Amino acid sequence: MIYSKLTSKFQATIPTEIRKTLKIKAGDRIIFEILPDRSIVIRKSTLVDVAHLKALEATVGEWGSKQDEEAYRDL
């Protein structure tokens, strides 16, 4: 088992073994995915992370109304 201690600012160091496995370095972005059983998946974000975009897809549907089309048509 690999662990890391949480600081008072809610930050944690990603242990070396995890960094090597994910091939991450300073400046890289990582994604935290919360699964239904409340477990967490951590993965390195790619330039265009398809899974991340799919997760966002459900949040942009609210802007698809006829009124929005009319208001933003010329943009």
- Could you list the pLDDT tens digit for every one of the 75 residues in the chain? 999 999 999 999 999 999 999 999 998 989 899 999 999 999 998 777 777 777 777 777 666 678 877 887 777
The domains found in the chain, sorted by start residue, are: 16-72 (2.10.260)
Task: Provide the pLDDT for residue 39.
Answer: 94
Name the residue type at position 32: F
- Determine how many CB atoms are found less than 10 A away from the CB of residue 6: 9
Look at the block and give the residue holding tokens 């600012």. Answer: 9
Would you state the pLDDT for residue 23? 94
Length of the chain: 75
Asked if 20 and 34 touch (Cβ cutoff 8 Å), the reply is no
SS3 call for 35: coil
